[in-house]
A and B are shown apart, each in its own frame.
Chain A
Amino acid sequence: DTGVSQDPRHKITKRGQNVTFRCDPISEHNRLYWYRQTLGQGPEFLTYFQNEAQLEKSRLLSDRFSAERPKGSFSTLEIQRTEQGDSAMYLCASSSELYEQYFGPGTRLTVT
């Protein structure tokens, strides 16, 4: 399967703990996006990478959130000192120069 993959699919953590999610894009795609989605809402843009450069970052992304894409391949999203409000589905997407975004299955985070 050459689609976008995300790991883990589910994560349950206690408030105050740090969590890290991984996204592996489609191999020939140089663009990568992270989103957050809560129940009944559309995905909310978090950040965008072109190759290894983080070119766009939402103001919604507080200092507790950080994303990296070393070597322009996979990406990680880390949330430090998790809060209950961070509970959501975290989605990753990738695209080529044609900009059609392909999404992974998401990581569902539950903060207790």
Chain B
Amino acid sequence: KQEVTQIPAALSVPEGENLVLNCSFTDSAIYNLQWFRQDPGKGLTSLLLIQSSQREQTSGRLNASLDKSSGRSTLYIAASQPGDSATYLCAVTAGGFKTIFGAGTRLFVKA
């Protein structure tokens, strides 16, 4: 049974700091891994999708890596801004298209 864990559960950093969010999964037989952000009371916004054959993806100040063999992914946020404050979720999808989410990391960036 696939389980997804995100560490830390919460993080508070000063504006401008670079930070790393971690995601681990128990079954390496995944189809892809996707990172999302969620603002309070809202739906999810897709940030980055990494296919199982890829090692990383970049979008602006965001970089996500994937190491299937160790069951880990990291989301790197450069030069954090107060507008980055949100909950960040990672999700893995296996061949049956059942998608499993972690509980998320709540990020607060202080101005």
Contacts and interface: CB of A to CB of B under 8 A. Distances in A.
Interface in A33-48: 33, 35, 40-45, 48
A42 B45 contact: no
A59 B45 CA distance: 26
Contacts of A45: 98-101
B57 to A, nearest CB: 11
Contacts of A101: 34, 46, 91, 99
Contacts of A103: 36, 43-46
Interface residues on A, range: 20 to 34
Given A40-B103, A45-B99, A102 B46 contact: yes
A58 interface: yes
B87 to A, nearest CB: 9
A100 B91 contact: no
Interface residues on B, range: 20 to 34
B95 to A, nearest CB: 10
Query: B-side binding surface: helix, strand, loop or mixed?
Result: strand
Interface in A41-69: 41-45, 48, 50, 55-56, 58
A25 interface: no
Interface string B27-57: 0000110101000011111100100000000
A79 interface: no
A33 B99 contact: yes
Give 3 closest A-B pairs by Cβ, nearest first.
Answer: A42-B101, A103-B44, A103-B43
27 contacts: A40-B103, A42-B4, A42-B101, A42-B103, A43-B89, A43-B101, A44-B101, A45-B100, A48-B98, A55-B97, A56-B96, A56-B97, A56-B98, A58-B98, A91-B43, A91-B44, A93-B44, A99-B31, A99-B32, A101-B34, A101-B99, A103-B36, A103-B44, A103-B46, A106-B42, A106-B43, A108-B41
Interface of B: 4, 31-32, 34, 36, 41-46, 49, 89, 91, 93, 96-104
